[in-house]
Amino acid sequence: MRRHRKPPPSHGGQLKEKKPHQTFSKWSEEYGPIYTIRTGASSAVVVNSAEVATEAMVAKYSSISTRKLSKAISVLSRGKKMVAMSDEGEFHKMVKPPYYETPLNFRDVFQNELFGLSMTQASLNTSSVLINTFSMLGVLPVLFWYCQHVPDDLVNNLYILIFETVLQIQALSEDVSSVYVEEFGKAFSREEIFQTAVTDMMMCAIEVDWRDFFPYLSWIPNRSFEERVLTTEARRTTVMQALINQQKKRIARGETRISYLDFLLAENTLTDEQILMLVWEAVIEGADTTLVITEWAIYEIAKHPEKQEYLYQEIQKVCGNKTVTEDHLPELPYLNAVFHETLRRHSPVPLVPPRFVHENTNLAGYEVPAGTEMIINLYGCNMNKSDWADPEEWKPERFLDGRFEAADLYKTVAFGAGRRACAGSMQAVNISCTTIARFVQEFAWRLKEGDEDKADTIQLTTNRLYPLHVYLTPRGRK
């Protein structure tokens, strides 16, 4: 039986702030968790319910598995040469990170190579070794330096600080302070690498080309849009290739390391373009998941001192004077709740890349014809008032009410579901939780006065619009 739901009003002017996930969520309060909108010459079904989203991503996956990319994302992904953007097929099967379907021993090898650590170290405890590298050799000493030399100053932009220390180690096996880019005749600093590889790309990905809404007019040039996107993509490619070439020279000198890049270079089936895109994807996805969650968790913890103290006391009870490690995580339920509540409230990816319904299907009792676009609003699912009481509030306690299994990674739909669920979900949980715990164990965190409500994000992302500025005080553990 075909059901109908009145579509919301024309949305062109209402989406001009480039935060459609928030607009879609508001519309769901009036039109329900699933509704249809017109996007130029075509229709799109918008899903704002975890139950319906899971049905679409799991039960109806075979009918709606094809990615439908905007012109901007198509250019930036080099025609779906990314795991996250590729359709189910030979390329996706070849490059998808080994996870459930891979034998355990090879899965461990892959993870160890991704982290850029020696096999001897990594075999002991993959994530803990990474956290040790991250915490003891990178961020924590910098934070202690701040406390010692400028005790009344703010620690500025924690996000950039974490990125500089971790992401390049993961992807390239070393912390790259700078790279000389011959095409530009200059060396790019860490900050410039981040700006080029992450920030500029995120902003470019949400560029709107009116031809996306009117495919039959795609033959008409849109030169200003094309120039912006192509210039940004070329700059990204040039800088990433310089980073890769720098590592190739290291390999040519006989300095072999176990890193994600080394692993990809050893594969004879991958082209140079595929290697570049996969390394960049490791960087961009890390910036969109682990780092975003960690930064927002610190913001919320600093904003809620009573919850920060509760978490600190839990860590003290379990660890005492010992350094918290990944091995302690099963004994820290409130820390787990802090992670999942942050993941719910600040979903790193607000919208799943649009999918294309390639055969007639039924979703939540609605007949969805082939040719329809499918937009799954993860932000809307995690802010749905039917599923979450006071969804605007950050309440870790909601995950301790007995409704959820402690080990369940999919308490929310932020990691997706089904065959295209985030393959790095366990990694994100382990690294983020251990990092948050180490930060709280070592420091008391406090926001700059007046920053309590600065939770705005950058357009169609959950990256903070304003850098996180915090005061911190060493706790003086013995």
DSSP string, 377-432: BHHHHHT-TTTSSSTTS--GGGGGSSSS-TT-S-SSSTT--GGGS-TTHHHHHHHH
Residue 2 forms part of a structural domain: no
Block residue for tokens 């969804």? 391
Contact 77, 277 (CB under 8 A): yes
Residue 4 forms part of a structural domain: no
Residue 332 forms part of a structural domain: yes
pLDDT of residue 104: 27
Q: Are strands 178-181 and 34-39 parallel, antiparallel or unpaired?
A: unpaired
Q: How far is CA 342 from CA 207, 339, 348, in A?
A: 27, 5, 10
Residue 129 forms part of a structural domain: yes
Q: Sheet holding 34-39: strands in order across?
A: 34-39, 42-47, 373-376, 355-356, 66-67
Question: Can you tell me the distance from the alpha carbon of 329 to that of 334, in angstroms, rounded to the nearest whole number?
Answer: 10
Residue 3 forms part of a structural domain: no
pLDDT of residue 443: 86
CATH no. for residue 341?
Answer: 1.10.630.10
Residue count (the chain) = 478
pTM beyond 0.85: no
pLDDT of residue 449: 78
pLDDT of residue 284: 75
Residue 5 forms part of a structural domain: no
pLDDT truncated to tens, each residue of the chain (478 aa)?
Answer: 345 444 444 454 455 556 788 889 999 998 899 999 887 777 889 999 999 998 988 888 778 767 777 788 888 888 777 776 666 655 555 555 543 333 223 223 333 333 333 333 333 333 343 344 344 345 555 565 555 555 555 555 555 555 555 555 556 656 577 889 999 999 998 778 888 888 888 888 877 777 777 776 777 888 888 899 999 999 999 999 998 898 888 888 887 666 678 778 877 778 889 889 888 887 776 666 677 888 889 999 999 999 999 999 999 999 998 989 889 999 999 999 999 999 999 888 888 878 888 889 989 888 888 888 888 999 999 999 999 999 999 999 999 988 877 777 778 887 777 666 666 677 778 888 988 998 899 889 888 777 666 666 655 556 665 667 778 888 875 4
pLDDT of residue 118: 34
Two tokens, residue 429: 């949980």
Residue 8 forms part of a structural domain: no
What is the number of domains present in the chain? 1
pLDDT of residue 114: 34
422 annotated ligand binder: yes
pLDDT of residue 9: 43
Cβ-in-10-Å burial (0-12, 13-18, 19+) of 43 comes to middle
Question: Can you tell me the distance from the alpha carbon of 97 to that of 36, in angstroms, rounded to the nearest whole number?
Answer: 34
pLDDT of residue 1: 32
pLDDT of residue 197: 86
- What burial letters (b/e) apply to 443-472, b meaning 16+ CB within 10 Å? bbbbbeeebeebbebbebbbbbeeebbbbb
Residue 264 forms part of a structural domain: yes
Q: What is the extent of the structural domain holding 52?
A: 13-474
